[in-house]
Chains A and B, each alone.
Chain A
Amino acid sequence: MKTLNEIKEIIKVNILIERLELEDIEADEIEDNEPLFGDGLGLDSVEALDVVSGVEAEFGILLQVLEEEEIRQHFYSVATLSNFVESQLKATVNS
């Protein structure tokens, strides 16, 4: 079971920096609470879908069942996303 900090690191490094190839920014410059979309990192809708695929691939969880509104909430920032991933991983372990 990964710790919350490990989850955050995977999201920042493997997904945002490597998968999306964000330029001119290092993993440690991405604030946990900074919005991923709009004014924050400025991700667009195609990038958002790639983040969803990245989370599915990195953590082996399935997000197809999520409603758009839920995705919007959980994918707001690195902090909300890592909390969500942690809760999903726990659910997998428990079930």
Chain B
Amino acid sequence: MKPFQIAVTGIGILSALGQNKKETFENMKQNQTGIDNIQSFDASKFISSIGAEIKGYEPTDHFTLEEQASFDRCSQYAILSIQEAVSEARLAQENIGTIGLAFGTCNGGLNSLEQQNGLSNLDSQLTKNYPFFQQGDSVAKHFHFNGPVMTLNTACAASGNAIGFACDMLQHGYADAMIAGGSDSMSSSVYAGFNALKALNDKPCSPYNHRYGLSLGEGAAFLVLEPLEKALERDAKIYSVINGYGLSSDAYHETAPEPEGKGILNAVQMAVAQGGIENERIEYINTHGTGTKANDPAELKGLQSFFGDRFKDINVSSSKAYFGHNLGAAASIEYATTLLALEQGLLPATIHFEKAREGCETAKLVTNEMLTETPDYFLCNNSAFGGHNASILSKNVFHSPQTPIFDSNSETAKQSDVVICGFGTVHALANKSGSILSSFSIQPSPKTKLDFSLKEYNKALYERRMNPLTQFSIGACDLAIKNTLQDKEWSEDIGLVYGTSRGSLKSAEKYLGSILDRGIDNASGVYFPDMVLNSTAGKIAKKFRIKGFSSSHSSGGTDGLHAMLYGALTIKDGKQKTVLVGAGDESSDLSDEIDKALHLTESSYETTEGSTFLTLADEEIAVQQGLDVHAKVKGFGMSFNSEDNLYRTIKNSISRCLDDAKLTVSDVDFIFYHNNNVFDTNEFIKLKSEFGSTPIFTLNNTFGYMESNGSLYHTQAAVELLGLTDEEQQKVTRSLGWTKGPLKKGLIVTTSINGNCMAMAISK
């Protein structure tokens, strides 16, 4: 395995301080703030009426009417900043190969819902622009990206998470270049939520200052990332080299950080361990520093415990006083502007600073004016609602020596093999212990309405107001843990990767409904924390005390396999020995409205709900701990339909997967296919005829369509099937009408409604 060295070769920024990176940075250098009176809605009823909005933004300056109608504001901002980044990196001019996108967002297309002032009889064009995954997918389509496309939804850590995911895609050869970053636009209902939580500052925020409170912002920043050797080869401009990143979960609270900063500490430890450098070489930290009473001292405590005595000598600053808290775009805007400052031999400052607040006195804060310094390595950290943390370790290429050297000699330890050691599903057709095998041969749709109460399943796992999605997911996770451990001991040192296309729209209905019913100044503080899609992952982490690598994403149909991919890579890279991967869907009236807008109501499959969890482990550890190994994960292939040829895209994902797994078509004994049967019906028929005797089978006829969980559900089905003896297997395959057997290797193939295609190979 080659060392982890990912180069940043392009930057695009759109912020309250400017509509490009130059303008943004020049204003920062002059200690300007973009925080001003809110213009986009009436904020007079709130405890604060200021925020960092993009000045003079006119969609008509950038987009045709048709484009404006098909992109939420969140996507519009992203497109503009990506345009700037890819132009700088000359991606269009040079033959780069496979390009993917990792898109971080906290609010998705919420503006498109807000605009409608209601939750029923929605306008389909606007509603189509709402889903989180729609942001990443529409942007990928706009730029014709053909590689892995994923929307990360880990709230205020989302774009840090996206940068990390993108680096993994490059490191493992799934793309030649990745565009990574985040975007979020100002939202009245999000502002109302922070107002309800009394987290807003009535003066422009200044983190660590004695006047606490945050200022919300909006904007986007995206980076072009490439493996360092490729960037050097084509003589691209290099801004920095990313050497490692870490993700973690506080497993503590839905909005407040763990007070000792243990969550951010875990993320930093993981990033620095991956980079393999001595702590002494880290000379600057750009912190999350929101300015709230709870965040700032906790974060500093976590860093202090990592660096010890040396912490007081490390320059630290939060950039949020310049352009506010940009939520899902916070990490990428802060990272990108840190690079622009380092290029000038400067460090970003925390402006408007008067005196340090209690608990923040010992840090060496860079305040009020940029500082002339050239740190060797630096960290950029972010934390989020739901307890997710992200830390990125980078080498400052403007520190001597000026040209980054590709370190081709230092081979890191060999990659681990990943196995599946447990599973559990909560679904109308799953049995009590979470198995779905017994329902395989049931003929179409006897019963797909799920009746599951976590309170009845295990009251200790339930909390009041817990939405159905979280109940299903905690239930499935518990079943998977039981299935994995049997009666063995539970280790808390594990990771969690979770996919959900829509999150809990029942909670969103409650929250947005509270604004519609009671007014924007009386929004529900208890439902606001569930508006972020990573809230379910955060609650699972808290219930099972999962504090390791933690991520949450939305991909509109491929979510389950994306969770498998990210979990498997985390184990391959040695960041975690065990990872729980899951996905889940919940039905609701608002979800039905979205189905209509996305044409999913035209599917022959019934839309259904549920959750599946699988336990992934490093093979050596699984054997050591005596866990049952049900199947092995062999490889993945991702392809996005950028050229309007879905069949070719599916085939691409399959051939990339077979290459990755070092298999040929003839090695494959069966294919499970999670499709939506709206946009991919003909492709399914074509695939069946092309693969001839290899059975290609979908369970969606029987089990219904689960947007996020379907692909993981099919994975569990394959795992259960591979785990059987040849004789037992034959009984099942005969009932399905399959003639081939015994089954040793299989593929799970999945498509999303926007043409995101993915394949995974597993074997006995």
* Contact (Cβ within 8 A) B524 A19: yes
Give, as a whole number of angstroms, the nearest-CB distance from B252 to chain A.
11
A95 on the B face (CB < 8 A): no
Mostly, the A contact residues are helix
* Contact (Cβ within 8 A) A46 B255: yes
Which of B47, B196, B526 meets A20, CB within 8 Å?
Answer: B526
Give, as a whole number of angstroms, the nearest-CB distance from B756 to chain A.
35
* Contact (Cβ within 8 A) A64 B47: yes
Which of B197, B254, B464, B518 meets A21, CB within 8 Å?
Answer: B464
Which of B197, B253, B464, B522 meets A49, CB within 8 Å?
Answer: B197
Contacts of A21 in B (CB 8 A): 464-465, 526
Do A49 and B525 contact each other (CB < 8 Å), given the known contacts A57-B518, A64-B47?
yes
Give, as a whole number of angstroms, the nearest-CB distance from B394 to chain A.
35
Do A50 and B196 contact each other (CB < 8 Å), given the known contacts A45-B256, A57-B518, A64-B47?
yes
Q: How far is the CA of A22 from the CA of B529 in the complex (A)?
A: 17
Do A50 and B464 contact each other (CB < 8 Å), given the known contacts A45-B256, A57-B518, A64-B47?
no
B482 on the A face (CB < 8 A): no
Do A46 and B529 contact each other (CB < 8 Å), given the known contacts A23-B464, A53-B196?
yes
* Contact (Cβ within 8 A) A53 B525: yes
Give, as a whole number of angstroms, the nearest-CB distance from A68 to chain B.
9
Q: Would you give the 0/1 interface string for A45-68, flagging 1 where the beta carbon is closer than 8 Å to chain B?
A: 111011011001100000010000
Contacts of A46 in B (CB 8 A): 197, 254-255, 525-526, 529
Give, as a whole number of angstroms, the nearest-CB distance from A44 to chain B.
8
Contacts of A22 in B (CB 8 A): 464
Q: Would you give the 0/1 interface string for A61-92, flagging 1 where the beta carbon is closer than 8 Å to chain B?
A: 00010000000000000000000000000000
Contacts of A45 in B (CB 8 A): 253, 255-256
Q: Would you give the 0/1 interface string for B460-493, flagging 1 where the beta carbon is closer than 8 Å to chain A?
A: 0000110000000000000000000000000000
Contacts of B255 in A (CB 8 A): 45-46
Mostly, the B contact residues are loop
A interface, how many residues as a size bin?
10 to 19
Contacts of A53 in B (CB 8 A): 196, 522, 525
B198 on the A face (CB < 8 A): yes
Do A49 and B196 contact each other (CB < 8 Å), given the known contacts A57-B522, A64-B47?
yes
Give, as a whole number of angstroms, the nearest-CB distance from A20 to chain B.
6
Give, as a whole number of angstroms, the nearest-CB distance from B684 to chain A.
43
Q: Which residue of B lies closest to A21 (CB)?
A: B465
Q: How far is the CA of A46 from the CA of B464 in the complex (A)?
A: 13
Contacts of B464 in A (CB 8 A): 20-23
Contacts of A57 in B (CB 8 A): 518, 522
Which of A23, A50, A56, A64 meets B526, CB within 8 Å?
Answer: A50
Contacts of A19 in B (CB 8 A): 524, 526
Q: How far is the CA of A44 from the CA of B197 in the complex (A)?
A: 12
Q: How far is the CA of A68 from the CA of B522 in the complex (A)?
A: 20
* Contact (Cβ within 8 A) B525 A50: yes
* Contact (Cβ within 8 A) B524 A50: yes
Q: Which residue of A lies closest to B254 (CB)?
A: A46
Give, as a whole number of angstroms, the nearest-CB distance from B435 to chain A.
31
Contacts of A64 in B (CB 8 A): 47, 198
Q: Would you give the 0/1 interface string for A21-56, flagging 1 where the beta carbon is closer than 8 Å to chain B?
A: 111000000000000000000001111011011001
Q: Which residue of A lies closest to B202 (CB)?
A: A64
Q: How far is the CA of A49 from the CA of B526 in the complex (A)?
A: 8
Contacts of B526 in A (CB 8 A): 19-21, 46-47, 50
Q: How far is the CA of A53 from the CA of B518 in the complex (A)?
A: 11
Q: How far is the CA of A50 from the CA of B256 in the complex (A)?
A: 15
Q: How far is the CA of A20 from the CA of B256 in the complex (A)?
A: 19
Q: How far is the CA of A56 from the CA of B526 in the complex (A)?
A: 15
Contacts of A47 in B (CB 8 A): 525-526
Contacts of A23 in B (CB 8 A): 464
Q: How far is the CA of A44 from the CA of B542 in the complex (A)?
A: 15
Contacts of B465 in A (CB 8 A): 20-21
Q: How far is the CA of A46 from the CA of B528 in the complex (A)?
A: 10
Q: How far is the CA of A90 from the CA of B526 in the complex (A)?
A: 29
Q: Which residue of A lies closest to B465 (CB)?
A: A21
Give, as a whole number of angstroms, the nearest-CB distance from A51 to chain B.
9
Q: Which residue of A lies closest to B518 (CB)?
A: A57
Give, as a whole number of angstroms, the nearest-CB distance from B341 to chain A.
36
Contacts of B253 in A (CB 8 A): 44-45
* Among A20, A45, A46, A49: residue with most chain B CB under 10 A: A46
Q: Which residue of A lies closest to B529 (CB)?
A: A46
Q: How far is the CA of A74 from the CA of B47 in the complex (A)?
A: 21
**Which residues 514-530 in B have Cβ within 8 Å of A in the complex?**
518, 522, 524-526, 529
Q: How far is the CA of A52 from the CA of B254 in the complex (A)?
A: 19
Q: How far is the CA of A45 from the CA of B524 in the complex (A)?
A: 14
Q: Which residue of A lies closest to B523 (CB)?
A: A53
Given contacts A23-B464, A46-B529, A53-B522, 19 further A-B contacts (CB under 8 A): A19-B524, A20-B465, A21-B464, A21-B465, A22-B464, A45-B255, A45-B256, A46-B255, A46-B526, A47-B526, A49-B198, A50-B196, A50-B524, A50-B525, A50-B526, A52-B198, A53-B196, A57-B522, A64-B198
Using a CB–CB cutoff of 8 Å, the interface residues on chain A facing chain B are: 19-23, 44-47, 49-50, 52-53, 56-57, 64
Top 9 A-B pairs, shortest CB-CB distance: A50-B525, A57-B522, A50-B526, A49-B525, A23-B464, A21-B465, A53-B196, A49-B197, A47-B526
Using a CB–CB cutoff of 8 Å, the interface residues on chain B facing chain A are: 47, 196-198, 253-256, 464-465, 518, 522, 524-526, 529
Contacts A/B (CB < 8 Å), 8 sampled: A20-B465, A21-B464, A44-B253, A46-B254, A49-B198, A50-B196, A56-B522, A64-B198
